[in-house]
Amino acid sequence: MQIIDSIQAMKSLVREVRSKGQTIGFVPTMGYLHQGHLTLMRTAKEKCNFVVASIFVNPLQFGVGEDFEEYPRDLGRDSKLAEEAGVDVIFAPTVKEMYPKGYSTFVEEERITDKLCGESRPGHFKGVTTVVTKLFNIVQPDLAFFGQKDAQQSLVLKKMVKDLNMNLEIQVLPTVREEDGLAMSSRNSYLNSSERQSALLLSKSLNMAQNLIEAGERRVAEIKKAIHKLITQDTLARIDYVEILSLPDLEEVEFLEGSSLIAMAVFIGNTRLIDNLVVEV
């Protein structure tokens, strides 16, 4: 497995791979890999001849006061895991390589980025759509793989690919969880042992919501109230948002109908965690 840090070198390798008629699967990540990332990589290898994974902690998608500096990084560990998962090349550019002095071009989706994480992290999705466009241009994948864990991100990127007629398909794979239900995340490494216990509130409250819905509850306000009640019982937990929106347009609804997304962001201590559940009624 190769590790490439230059855009030029990555592009010339892509040219070589494509000239042999091979398909390219792409998994963009910020590294500190876990089974969520590795499942995307293994699936990419099943579906494509050649797999590129990027590891780039993108400063553009972090707000002021967020954890860009602290974000965990370990390229040595990541490259071993990625190789075992079938990755052919890791693309790990520096910030300077991606955003040289004078960089001034951005990509923005304007319809579904003003809610959920877009509302609490202004500028976040502009950073995501910009970096992913750049990565798509460099890697030229046939298929790109994303996780349902970041539900809004996957919706925004699908919209971007459609709106801008990008020449690839996005595949979204289910959230991979720890045995006790916690959604895997590189940020889980920030949690101490009591926070790790409290972090279970996210998946527990989604399960509770699912049970309420299975028992016939359709009132969005009631479901949100029950989730708030469960989470706010824990003094380590502080809700950023809990929302229930229609899919795929992320519109507010009063009653569940068809396909909906229950999405939440909760601070456990200083760590902001997200989780979500798709419900069909």
Residues at the site binding ligand AMP, with contacts judged by CB under 6 A: 29-30, 36-37, 40, 146-147, 149-150, 173, 175-176, 183-186
Nearest approach, Cβ of 27 to ligand AMP (angstroms)?
7
d(CA 239, CA 241): 5
Q: Which of residues 28 and 50 has its CB atom nearest to ligand AMP in the complex?
A: 28
Q: Greatest CA separation found in the chain?
A: 58
Run of H or E including 261: strand 259-268
Task: Please identify the residue of the shown chain whose CB is closest to the bound ligand AMP.
Answer: 147
Nearest approach, Cβ of 23 to ligand AMP (angstroms)?
19
Question: What is the sign, positive or negative, of the torsion defined by CA atoms of 157, 159, 165, 168?
Answer: positive
Q: Which of residues 67 and 217 has its CB atom nearest to ligand AMP in the complex?
A: 67
Chain centroid to CA 143: 16
Nearest approach, Cβ of 197 to ligand AMP (angstroms)?
18
Q: Active-site residue among 34, 37, 124, 228?
A: 37
d(CA 138, CA 141): 9
Q: Which of 129, 124, 105 is nearest to 114 (CA)?
A: 124
Q: Which of residues 127 and 147 has its CB atom nearest to ligand AMP in the complex?
A: 147
Nearest approach, Cβ of 189 to ligand AMP (angstroms)?
12
Question: Could you give the C-alpha distances from 35 to 84, 85, 92, 158, 176, in angstroms and in order?
Answer: 12, 10, 19, 23, 7
The structure tokens listed for 247 are: 């899919």
d(CA 37, CA 33): 6
Nearest approach, Cβ of 21 to ligand AMP (angstroms)?
27
Q: Which of residues 49 and 171 has its CB atom nearest to ligand AMP in the complex?
A: 171
Nearest approach, Cβ of 100 to ligand AMP (angstroms)?
23
d(CA 133, CA 227): 36
Q: Check if the beta carbon of residue 276 is closer than 8 Å to that of residue 206.
A: yes
Provide the pairing of β-strand 259-268 with 143-147: unpaired
Q: Which of residues 183 and 213 has its CB atom nearest to ligand AMP in the complex?
A: 183
Q: Which of residues 33 and 223 has its CB atom nearest to ligand AMP in the complex?
A: 33
Is 37 annotated in the active site?
yes
Instruction: Supply the residues annotated as catalytic.
Output: 37
